[in-house]
Chain A
Amino acid sequence: MIRRSLLILAMLACAWPAFAVNPDEVLADPALEARARALSAQLRCMVCQNQSIDDSNAELAKDLRLLVRERLENGDSDDAVIDYVVSRYGEFVLLKPRFETKTLILWGAPLLLFLAGASVMVVSARRRTGKEVGTNLTPEEQARLDAVLSEDEQSRR
């Protein structure tokens, strides 16, 4: 199957026929609603393929959206809401995995790869300039050069 069509199909299965956020879910307080939307974008719809609950129309996603809004209205902080959702649904629900032992490689990969690549670059650059430096004169050559130069200076005087 064509790649994107798979994706679109999978997403449509969740997205249609209604919309993700319906007017009746929207909180009266715009600030609180904005926080709810931002949090929803970070939480995964468990029954969909790679979709946040903000985009999904699945029943479960709707329940989660309502849950997030309920917690926010009860005065929870963003972190507290996330913690609560994770405690109920597990870490699978987080679209941005937490930084911990089992995600160490995941989060470390970009930096590690960049540093590894950069050090290879520096080492090979050093090696290359090393070759150029390799044209340094040996002591005998230096002595001969000095002699020639001093002769030159003497003759100029």
Chain B
Amino acid sequence: MIVELGHYALVLALATSLLQAALPLAGALRGDRALMEIGTIAAKATFLLVALSFCALTYAHVTSDFSVQNVWENSHSQIPLIYKYSGVWGNHEGSMLLWVLILTFFSALVALFGNNLPETLKANVLSIQAMITAAFALFILMTSNPFNRLLNAPGEGKDLNPVLQDIGLAIHPPLLYLGYVGFSVCFSFAIAALIEGRIDAAWARWVRPWALAAWTCLTAGIAMGSYWAYYELGWGGWWFWDPVENASFIPWLAGTALLHSALVMEKREALKIWTVLLAIMTFSMSLLGTFLVRSGVLTSVHAFATDPTRGVFILIILILFIGGALSLFALRAARLKAGGLFAPISREGALVLNNLILTTAAATVLTGTLYPLALEALTGAKISVGAPFFNMTFGLLMLPLLLAVPFGPLLAWKRGDLPGAAQRLFAAVAFGLVVGCVVYYAQNGGPILAALGIALGAYMILGSMMELFLRSGLGKVAAGVAWRRLSGLPRSVFGTALAHIGLGVTLIGIVAVTAFETEHIIEMKPGMTAEAGGYSLRFEGLRKGNGANYSEEVGHFIVSGDGVAMGDITSSKRIYTARRMPTTEAGIRTFGLSQLYVSLGDDMADGGIVVRVWWKPMILCIWGGALFMMAGGLVSLSDRRLRIGAPTRSKKPKPVLEPAQ
């Protein structure tokens, strides 16, 4: 009964979203306030209906109602309760429902908090959001209905895929979707602006919080997924340039560019047309990612959703929305007036460079991801584009960007002073070089490129803090004054610094792991020791055990440094009983920022077992940097300038308070 209610609620949500799509748009065109107001109500109603539908599916999963096909295929009565919840989105149908739930959640947020928006803008935004909602609700109902019943209810489910039985799955997809789908709001704002043919700095100020929130969630989702793969896959890789990863990374790159260009638009009314295009492209990349993953076009063998009807349906959605948006853009973009002027060397100029490189990088990853498909479709030739290609091209593109990052905030708007900025970054450059030399000597003349990479990271970290030092006058004025000035700075300045520092931290992690990681593949018997990263690892033996829904073989190791025992590591291999599927659970022990990573392999005939031991120096920096970036996003989001409404240029400049001499 509850399941049928959920199904019915989804159908109703389709109906309300169709109303929400048509009426406010018509109202905005005719200047009818009553019609426009329907958008607000309909957005809330649609969200509640989709939420109801989602709760019904969750209920079916949690109560293990195997008469529902989706539950039978993806759940089991014995799995821990948390995986009954997360199993709701651990399958195609459920994850699409989550996608729509988050989409309507954002629409409802616009409806709730959009009171300071001009009426017509708000109506148009809600209308565009509803069009996307309607398309995907229809997609679920027509091709991927999670509420289908089975005629003869089976007694037991087929189990949730063991790989997904992990806390990582519970958090990763919702975060990723919050990011990807969050950019739909920016998209809707862009389309609404094109419909009205009017766009100004206030528009950028309304869009930026949405872009920031979506970007922060996407950063978290990608980082989370990367760490999940790292410990779940059992060979210590953390990024594979797989099309599936690229599908989330491309919107991230485009979204990062959007954040920066919206800044220029908000502050200087420049780059209007470009920002609108970026807002459209960012969400288009999200849609494209959804298509690539959902249609199964990437993988002929392993795809979960190989049913072509789904692929074709999403492709139609894709063409309608991206094609429609770009056509509207082509028609209307010329009407948007260009704004403020600036010299090439200026804050604006630096942000344009950032946009140029980020969009080129996004396009490069996109080309690399789609090229094999396109080539095979056009010529029949099969080629692979893998990690070596991406590392090379992406790395080369990122290098100038990373070098330029600390310069951006130090350049003035309109016309900047490059030699002056370079002079102010002298300390950061020197610091980077010193760190590089220390690394080079500490590694006994290790790879020079690695030392340079870490030097670059160190330079970025200090360089990104430079704006804070300079604006507070730290070291030049009394500490109390500097502190007061520091706490008076806008939050977004701290956000920028944090995010840029995070970039440097991640870079250091990547370089250190790539260059200095050590790997040992050995056959071990109980009592044998292996050395890694200055620690020794003694194999104590294997033990067999049973979990709730799996049986496992657990290897027990004791770690010691300088002969002193420092703790133990357990690493296991599991067989999940329902699907007879094996997984590895790597044993990881953290030392500072570095990790010892132990994985079990084949049992040997003579009682030994193959063990792989990695020393992963500084690896936590990779995700630590992402934490910094997220913190930067959140701090920026809390800037009060983003919370108050449209910007009004103050007529009188405020008197500048200088400390008494």
Contacts and interface: CB of A to CB of B under 8 A. Distances in A.
Interface of A: 1-13, 15-23, 26, 41-42, 44, 49-52, 55, 90-97, 102-103, 105-107, 109-110, 113-114, 117-118, 121, 125, 128-129, 131-132
Given A6-B299, A9-B302, A109-B363, A97 B383 contact: yes
A97 B242 CA distance: 15
Contact of B302 (A2, A13, A19, A92): A13
Interface in B588-647: 599, 601-602, 610, 612
Interface in B356-398: 356-357, 359-361, 363-364, 367-368, 371, 375, 379, 381-389, 392-393, 396-397
B225 A95 contact: no
Given A3-B247, A5-B163, 17 more contacts: A1-B90, A2-B173, A3-B176, A3-B225, A3-B244, A7-B244, A12-B233, A15-B233, A19-B601, A19-B610, A23-B610, A52-B387, A91-B381, A95-B388, A96-B388, A113-B359, A128-B342
Given A5-B169, A23-B522, A90-B382, A50 B242 contact: yes
Contacts, number: 192
A93 B385 CA distance: 10
Interface in B284-331: 289, 293, 299, 301-305
A28 to B, nearest CB: 14
Contacts of A117: 356, 359-360
A156 to B, nearest CB: 33
A20 B164 contact: no
Contacts of B371: 103, 105-106
A95 B384 CA distance: 5
B95 interface: yes
Contacts of B229: 4, 7-8
Contacts of A94: 383-384
Contact of A5 (B90, B237, B357, B573): B90
A15 to B, nearest CB: 7
Given A23-B523, A117-B360, A15 B392 contact: no
A86 B235 CA distance: 27
A95 B338 CA distance: 44
A18 B387 contact: no
9 contacts: A2-B90, A2-B172, A3-B289, A8-B163, A17-B601, A95-B384, A97-B389, A110-B361, A110-B363
Nearest to B341: A128
Contacts of B95: 1-2
Contacts of A5: 90, 161, 163-164, 169
Contacts of B459: none
A99 B614 CA distance: 34
Nearest to B386: A95
Contact of B385 (A6, A20, A97, A125): A97
B388 A6 contact: no
B235 A20 contact: yes
A9 B161 contact: yes
Most chain A CB neighbours (cut-off 10 Å) among B90, B240, B304, B375:
B240
B603 to A, nearest CB: 9
B89 interface: yes
The 7 closest A-B pairs by CB, nearest first: A95-B386, A96-B388, A19-B601, A10-B302, A1-B304, A18-B602, A109-B367
A49 B303 CA distance: 10
Contacts of A22: 521, 601-602, 610
B326 to A, nearest CB: 17
B242 A102 contact: no
A106 B368 contact: yes
B228 interface: yes
Given A8-B163, A102-B381, A106-B367, A3 B521 contact: no
A4 B228 contact: yes
Contacts of A18: 601-602, 610
B245 interface: yes
A13 B581 CA distance: 9
A110 B360 contact: yes
Residue from the set B305, B383, B385 with the largest chain A CB neighbour count within 10 Å: B383
Contacts of B247: 3
A16 B382 contact: no
A85 B368 CA distance: 23
Nearest to B273: A124
B383 A6 contact: no
B228 to A, nearest CB: 7
B92 interface: yes
Contacts of A106: 367-368, 371, 385, 389
